[in-house]
Chains A and B, each alone.
Chain A
Amino acid sequence: MKIDKFVTVFSCFAVGCLFAPGWVDAGALEITSESSLALYERDTGTDSDSTLVPFYEYLGVNYTTDVEGLSFHGYAWGRLNLGDNDYYRDESDGELLYGYLKYRLDTANVGMKLGRQHLFSGVANASLDGVSMRAALGTNFDISLYGGSPVALAEDGRSGDSILGGRISNYLPGLYELGLSYKKIRNDSTDDDEKLGLDISLNLPYTIGLNGFSSLNMVTDSWAEHSYELQARAGAFQVRYFLQLFQYDDYFSSSKESPNPFKFLAGSGEELTIIGAEVDWFGAESYEVNVKAKNIDYDLRGDSSTYISGMVIKHLEDMCQVGLELGVMAGDTSENDYLIGRAFVYWDKLPESIPVEFISTDLILVGYDEDIYGQSNSTFVSLGAGKTFLDKALALKFSLDYSKDPYFDNDFRSKLVAEYTFGKE
């Protein structure tokens, strides 16, 4: 809790400093606000069909100072339950997703972040309260390092929690990049996770490329994952072959903080192999066709499943799109088999006589081979519309969703969203 308070105070302090007289006029401030009011019914601990009226606010801040390369970035959400029930009693009412000071020195390819941030780098996919930096080491090497307290383990207190790691990479422009990454997480002063990652990107002749990632679990001393892709482009076709191997005992964690249902998988000894391919065609300018197939195979269970899908998208001007998607999951076990169809429209080129600027629709139909709670299919329909004001700084959006599925008999949900951007050029 102390670090949580520190993060909040730090973020407020950082914003305060940046907005102090002499600074605020010199920089560029951008504030984004997304407010939404939803209306739907759910069962609570004491009542059935309670009306829920959650009000959500998502607030983002970007502030660039006149100190070259120095900026602040923050993003948080909060919820107010306007309904007369305790549906959200066990949930957090909001959270700071990130809030950090960023320093960037372009001439030396140096970057640094201080505060709450999210990292995607090699084996790291984590939020932390701390510091990260990256820098170029000569012309062909990059290095990044980070350290702090992992946000994910904050629930049971943060004493003894830490995350440390980094990535070093070597590259030749247009030819290859090879990265070696490391991550270690300690929880309550005991080792929780330690992984070593190897990533590769290789550019071969004839527009063929290879991307890959392997991670070694240093606690179990065995490979957790191998994921590799081979891409090729030929005219309007783009082809991707992929292979993924997972060893459950090394990929999932059996530590005390590992959540269900993954915890018990860590001791299963299972190995999963996914192999597949997809073809994308950017044909007649505004059309895109995608066909994808993958086979999912298990070592111990002995069964396998195959997923095959096809999509046709008609792209029009800007974001105008119409799409159709069909997928089928079929395998040795009928309880895993389903057929899914989706049709969607997003249309923002409407005649001026219509009082909204865009409409959106989504229709998803699913048929299950084996009933789920006595239901063999589900239907989902979403209708939406929206309009912008104040030179597009304000957008109002409304949506109405309907679902009839194994979990909900006839479920209607509505939502009104107001998005406002201040200071965007």
Chain B
Amino acid sequence: MFGKMKFVVGLLFLTLLFVYACASKQGSGYVFPSIHPEELEPGRPVCSDCHDESDRIVYSRFNHTVTFADNHRLLAYQYEQACSMCHQQRFCDDCHGVRLEEKPSDRNRTSTFRRTPHRGDYLARHRIDGRVDPTSCFRCHGNPKTAETCAPCHG
């Protein structure tokens, strides 16, 4: 009962907030474009080529270096809207959609430039990577649904 009460209160607060935000058109903060205003050339984006440090966010941190795919976690936690200017949710699901059956590197076998996770013989290598740093496994495989691929061996 208490849970339902909190849900109702939360929903009410959300509705009021939504109405308030819609009503206060003047003075609202920076609006992220829904898509990147300029069409980008094919290839890896180097955001600092065009953006300087005074933008709403520091775009140089989004430079798609060769290890950007390994290191973008903290940026995504803060600036999901910046990611979605160029990437649809299904692009993220290629690697983060652990409710997909195929592992990322199997799904995108010919996209060798993407450095998708679990390339090659990862079944053997994950024994070591998992021992060394299980927190990186947990981020994607940490709930019953996304741990289905772990269950056949780990129970």
Is B36 at the interface (CB under 8 A from chain A)? no
The answer to whether B10 touches A233 (Cβ under 8 A) is: no
- With both beta carbons as reference points, the residue of chain A lying nearest to B97 in the complex is identified as A97
Within the assembled complex, what's the spacing in Å between the Cα atoms of A127 and B144? 13
The answer to whether A338 touches B150 (Cβ under 8 A) is: no
A306–chain B nearest beta-carbon distance, Å: 10
Chain B residues within 8 Å of A, Cβ to Cβ:
3, 6-7, 10-11, 13-14, 17-18, 20-25, 27-31, 34, 41-44, 46, 48, 53-58, 60-61, 63, 65-67, 71, 73-78, 80-81, 83, 88-90, 92-93, 96-97, 99-102, 106, 109-113, 119-121, 123-125, 127-128, 130-135, 137-139, 141-148, 150-151, 154-155
Residues of A within 8 A of B92 (CB): 118, 120
Within the assembled complex, what's the spacing in Å between the Cα atoms of A386 and B109? 11
B140–chain A nearest beta-carbon distance, Å: 9
The answer to whether A344 touches B151 (Cβ under 8 A) is: no
Within the assembled complex, what's the spacing in Å between the Cα atoms of A233 and B57? 16
The answer to whether B22 touches A199 (Cβ under 8 A) is: no
Is A302 at the interface (CB under 8 A from chain B)? no
The answer to whether A231 touches B135 (Cβ under 8 A) is: no
Total of A-B residue pairs, C-beta within 8 Å: 323
Within the assembled complex, what's the spacing in Å between the Cα atoms of A385 and B109? 10
Residue among B10, B56, B131 making CB contact with A174, cutoff 8 Å: B56
Within the assembled complex, what's the spacing in Å between the Cα atoms of A408 and B94? 25
The answer to whether A229 touches B111 (Cβ under 8 A) is: no
Which stretch, A6-14, A18-26, A258-266, touches the partner chain B? A258-266
Within the assembled complex, what's the spacing in Å between the Cα atoms of A276 and B146? 29
The answer to whether A336 touches B131 (Cβ under 8 A) is: yes
Chain A interface residue count, CB cutoff 8 Å, equals 143
Is A362 at the interface (CB under 8 A from chain B)? yes
Within 8 A of B (CB), among A344-389: 344-346, 358, 360-362, 364, 366, 368, 372, 375, 378-380, 382, 384-386
A333–chain B nearest beta-carbon distance, Å: 8
The answer to whether B112 touches A173 (Cβ under 8 A) is: no
Is A223 at the interface (CB under 8 A from chain B)? no
Is A288 at the interface (CB under 8 A from chain B)? yes
The answer to whether B138 touches A274 (Cβ under 8 A) is: no
A215–chain B nearest beta-carbon distance, Å: 10
Within the assembled complex, what's the spacing in Å between the Cα atoms of A79 and B67? 32
The answer to whether B144 touches A199 (Cβ under 8 A) is: no
Instruction: Beyond A272-B133, A340-B125, A360-B112, list 17 extra A-B contacts (CB 8 Å).
Output: A58-B90, A97-B100, A117-B89, A118-B92, A136-B30, A150-B143, A162-B7, A173-B54, A173-B57, A209-B60, A305-B132, A317-B43, A318-B41, A329-B132, A368-B128, A378-B121, A407-B123
Within the assembled complex, what's the spacing in Å between the Cα atoms of A233 and B148? 41
